[in-house]
Amino acid sequence: MKSMRTATSSFSRSLLGAVIALLVVVTPGACIRPDASELQIGDAVAVVTNVLGEHTAEYRSTSEIEFSEFAHFEFSSQTNTASPSVSAAGLPEVVGRALWFPFLTTAGTLVYLDSSDRVTAVFSAGT
């Protein structure tokens, strides 16, 4: 009886340790949203990638954004915080290109770049 209790206790501690280790490994990458407010107008695309990671989509016009999978999101400017939140139809026209950096499935960051790959605007987006 004593050996069965010891085995169960050891198994419980091992399982608890594995769960804690998994939380420590998974939580930082999955729960910490990249800080788009670190980006500034004029930053190079390399800075954007360093802060937000790799983009998953590239757009050459606002109409492409309007037909994207995240067009229903609300967009808030990070580079002009006085401007109101807008829908995809209210976004400025894309002059160079716009890169989409998703965060989980309900949010992301849209970064506008000029023809020299410098930041012209940054929008946080979400539902």
How far is residue 88's CA from residue 70's CA, in Å, rounded to a whole number? 8
SS3 57: strand
DSSP summary character for residue 86: B
pLDDT at 66: 96
pTM of the complete model = 0.73
pLDDT digits (tens, 9 = 90+) for 28-48: 444 456 788 899 999 999 999
For 35, how many CA atoms within 13 A lie in the half-sphere containing its CB?
2
Q: Give which of 117, 86, 123 is closest to 103, Cα–Cα.
A: 123
CA dist 109 and 125 (Å) reads 6
pLDDT tens per residue across span 4-19: 555 555 555 554 444 4
**What is the domain partition of the chain in residue ranges?**
1-32, 34-126
Instruction: Give the single-character DSSP code of 99.
Output: E
Given a cut of 70, is residue 75 above it in pLDDT?
yes
Residues forming a β-bridge with 21: none
